[in-house]
Amino acid sequence: MAFYSNEIIQQLKAHADIAMVIENFVPLKRSGNGRYLGVCPFHDDRSPSMNVNPSLGIYKCFACGAGGDVFKFVQEHEKMDFKGAVEWVANFTGFALPQLGAPEDSEKTEERAMVRRLNELACEWFEQQLALSPKALQYLSSRHITDETRKLFHIGYAPDGREGFIGYAVKNGFSPLDCVKAGLAVQKENGGISDKFRDRLMIAIQNLSGVIVAFGGRDLSENKDFKRAKYMNSPESALYHKSDILYGLHQSRQSIAKERSVIIVEGYFDMISLFQGGVTNVVAASGTALTETHASILARYAEKAYLVFDGDEAGRTATYRSLQIVLPKGIAPRIFALSRPDGTKIDPDNFVNERGADAFREALKGSEDWLSYLMRLSDMQSPEERAKLVNFTKSLVKSIPDHELRNQYVKLISERFNTDRSLAQVKPLKPQKSFEERRAHSNAPTANNATDEVIPQLEQETSLNWASLPPMEIRFANLVLRNPTLMNRALEYFDMDWAASGIRMFESPVIEEFVNSAIALYAETGAMSPQMLYDNVSPTLRLFLEGLPEEQWKTPQEIIEFYQTLTEFSKKLCDRQKHSIPLTSNEAVEVRMQMSKFTQGMQKLNALFNAEKITIDAFADQVVRSKAQLIHFQSVIQGATPIQEAVAMPTPSAASAPKPVAEPAPAPSEAPAPSAMHVQNVMQAPIAQPVTSAPQQAPDEYVDEQMPNDEPPEGFEPPPPEDDEEYSYGNDDFNEESNDFEYQ
């Protein structure tokens, strides 16, 4: 099937202003930092909980968790498929999508719009016809449906006759064939077209945002000789996919979100009667069994789902299936049956009409958890049946996303069935997550939990401990994120040799992951944008990206800060590394000395630049070259290079760099000549001093002597002024093993 290339999708995403798109549906307020706040349309939101971040191209509701990119918003809000949402966004923002092979694709869009308009017209007409039909009105009152309710749910009537609606549609500019496409008319083999719905009570089926996508028709004919279907639905159309639509959700979603629970019933009138009776957190999966899409939609609003259980075989099968669908979505199912006082079964519609909403709420209290339900229905005497049941319940439990809930259920199962608490042998119901989701999760570190042996963790709550992130590292990440033009420079520094060296430049694994991801993305695609990055990283990193402040740099400030920060990171890295060299020999002392000289050199380099004695290009060049030294230190620390060699290592300048410098550094002549030479001298100066002339201090004294003589050179100022108070050099307590980073 032809589809837009990923490239086009990314271009459109970059082109579309998500705030502008969402504003089309929900009023947004600027929240001051380049972001927007609005009332979330996906739950009953009082205070604005939906955050819109145009720079990342995402929205996120902090109350109900709904979130995603611009396409996701349109998909969810307008109940469109992905392609439909892409086309909608393109249309709305004036982006020219390429023609997809066949012209039928734009026809599809037009058809969808046509069906939508035609459905609205039909709805109006059916409602008018209802008011004219004593029979239909009588029927409604026999079902205790009030006028208010029938208006709320757009209940109408399609009179008997072949061309009642078609005639009306034609008068309003539609063709009879349009009516067929919308599922409102049928075409016979001889080509004749007639109304599909005749002498039926018409129930408008709306999507989440209230668009009428289809109709359900209840037969009102009294002709008993001619067997007609009691209920007839619109066929699937450009607008209607029944597996996506839950009847009544448009009206009930606020209440479902408020109660955090949903009652799932079978028929339209079950839903309508409960709603009218005041039990408003109800939907009907009518015309189809509950689907995964249904459950995903409901999971946004509800934690608990009440399934009305019908005692017969079909009802049991449907209940089993529903369990398998709702449990993996994190919804706790409860099952209940309705009966009259004499024990005969009754549907929710009749129950509410006969006994009232309060009695219904009482009945809900008698619902059982799914495990009790399954046990009650099974033959607990036969070992085979028990084993089957244990396996089934365990596979259900394994699909529950919540770790603690899974624990609790495992405990229950082991107690009730006297079986072990392992889920290891149990096959999960089906893949729980899409490939994308799994990939994202596999990047997230997993906590080592004692219970892991018993219950494999499927999912982790993502959280990020901001306090554990050094401010200077956060700022550096933001700098790179907001200035994609720096990516070439970043790639030059953090190149393959750097990656191979295994150096960890950053204290925080999150920042390390950020830089690696950005560089990988850039190396792979030749581009890097906040949105693209966001789409390709772990949940933890997403949280990090969401939390970064909006900031702007004025050229060439971003370039200057980039290199200055690298010199600071280099110094900090050396300070950390010094501590990992055991002070067992003079050689070790010498390497430490070299590191101290290196940090001094970095400091002087910075000073020279700040004093405008060297150009930014020369500065950049020296910073990039200096990493060879860092790579060398790293290899010494890892024991790959004898310390002796390290001692012999002369300077960080390109011309004399020894082997571990894998990247061929540019010839010095490429840099502006005079200043580059000057810098080399500066860089060489401290290191060129004979190492052996280092003070004859005992190694022990070196422990406390990290930054020899550190009067900053004249004119030296720590580069990123925001950060200098936040970090300290030479933290003796730093320990590679300790895990300060409380993030998971």
Can you give the binding site for Zn ion, defined by CB under 5 A?
Answer: 40, 42-43, 61, 63-64, 66
Of 261 and 603, the one with the shorter C-beta distance to Zn ion is: 261
Of 295 and 519, the one with the shorter C-beta distance to Zn ion is: 295
- Whether 429 and 395 have beta carbons less than 8 Å apart is answered as yes
- Whether 264 and 325 have beta carbons less than 8 Å apart is answered as no
Minimal distance, residue 39 CB to Zn ion, in Å:
9
On the question of a cis peptide bond just before residue 556, with omega within 30 degrees of 0, the verdict is yes
Minimal distance, residue 245 CB to Zn ion, in Å:
20
Pairing of strands 282-284, 304-308: unpaired
Minimal distance, residue 60 CB to Zn ion, in Å:
9
| HSE (side-chain half, CA atoms, 13 Å) at 42 | 29
Of 42 and 197, the one with the shorter C-beta distance to Zn ion is: 42
Minimal distance, residue 367 CB to Zn ion, in Å:
27
User: What separation, in Å, do the N-terminal and C-terminal C-alpha atoms of the chain show?
Assistant: 39
Give the three-class secondary structure for 682. Answer: helix
Long-range contacts of 734-741 (CB under 8 A, 24+ apart): 734/576, 734/579, 736/576, 736/580, 740/468, 741/465, 741/468, 741/508, 741/509, 741/510
Minimal distance, residue 75 CB to Zn ion, in Å:
15
Of 253 and 578, the one with the shorter C-beta distance to Zn ion is: 253
- Whether 529 and 14 have beta carbons less than 8 Å apart is answered as yes
Beta bridge partners of 717: none
Of 13 and 300, the one with the shorter C-beta distance to Zn ion is: 300
Give the three-class secondary structure for 187. Answer: strand
Of 41 and 652, the one with the shorter C-beta distance to Zn ion is: 41
Minimal distance, residue 405 CB to Zn ion, in Å:
22
Q: Is 183 exposed, middle or buried (CB count within 10 Å of its CB: 0-12, 13-18, 19+)? A: buried
Minimal distance, residue 50 CB to Zn ion, in Å:
6
* Secondary structure element (H or E) that encloses residue 336, with its range: strand 332-336
Beta bridge partners of 336: 308
Q: How far apart are CA 232 and CA 215, in angstroms?
A: 8
- Whether 117 and 125 have beta carbons less than 8 Å apart is answered as no
Q: From 544, 491, 540, select the one nearest 519 (Cα to Cα).
A: 491
Minimal distance, residue 64 CB to Zn ion, in Å:
3
Q: How far apart are CA 521 and CA 508, in angstroms?
A: 20
Of 61 and 283, the one with the shorter C-beta distance to Zn ion is: 61
Of 300 and 334, the one with the shorter C-beta distance to Zn ion is: 300
Minimal distance, residue 25 CB to Zn ion, in Å:
13
Minimal distance, residue 22 CB to Zn ion, in Å:
13
Q: Which amino acid is at 300?
A: R
Minimal distance, residue 155 CB to Zn ion, in Å:
30
Of 42 and 153, the one with the shorter C-beta distance to Zn ion is: 42
Of 48 and 217, the one with the shorter C-beta distance to Zn ion is: 48
Beta bridge partners of 158: 200
Minimal distance, residue 26 CB to Zn ion, in Å:
11
Of 59 and 743, the one with the shorter C-beta distance to Zn ion is: 59
Of 19 and 121, the one with the shorter C-beta distance to Zn ion is: 19
Residue 42 tokens, joined: 């996906």
Minimal distance, residue 271 CB to Zn ion, in Å:
23
DSSP H helical segments within 327-382, as ranges? 348-365, 370-377
Of 249 and 643, the one with the shorter C-beta distance to Zn ion is: 249
Q: What is the 3-state secondary structure (H, E, C) of 39-71?
A: CCCCCCCCCCCEEEECCCCEEEECCCCCEEEHH
- Whether 683 and 653 have beta carbons less than 8 Å apart is answered as yes
Minimal distance, residue 21 CB to Zn ion, in Å:
17
Q: What is the 3-state secondary structure (H, E, C) of 250-300?
A: HHHHHHHHHHCEEEEECCHHHHHHHHHCCCCCEEECCCCCCCHHHHHHHHC
Of 61 and 573, the one with the shorter C-beta distance to Zn ion is: 61
Residue 46 tokens, joined: 């009082």
Q: What is the 3-state secondary structure (H, E, C) of 387-449?
A: HHHHHHHHHHHHCCCCHHHHHHHHHHHHHHHCCCCCCCCCCCCCCCCCHHHHHHHHHCCCCCC
